[in-house]
Amino acid sequence: MSVIRAPRHVPYDLRQLIVPIVVAGFFVFYFLRLWFLQVADAESLQAQGERSRETKVEMLAPRGEILDRKGQLLAGVRPNLVLMAVPSKLKKDDALRQRVADITGLTLKELDAKLKRITSPPDLPTVLLRDIDIKAATKIAESEHLYDGLSVKTLPMRY
* pLDDT by 10-residue block (mean), the chain, 159 residues: 67 83 96 91 88 75 84 88 90 88 89 87 88 90 86 86
Q: How do beta strands 77-85 and 150-158 pair?
A: antiparallel
Angle formed by the axes of helices 94-104 and 134-142, nearest 10°: 150
Does this model's pTM top 0.85? My answer is: no
Report the pLDDT value the prediction gives residue 90, as an integer from 0 to 100: 87
Q: Report yes or no: 92 and 84 within 8 Å, Cβ to Cβ.
A: no
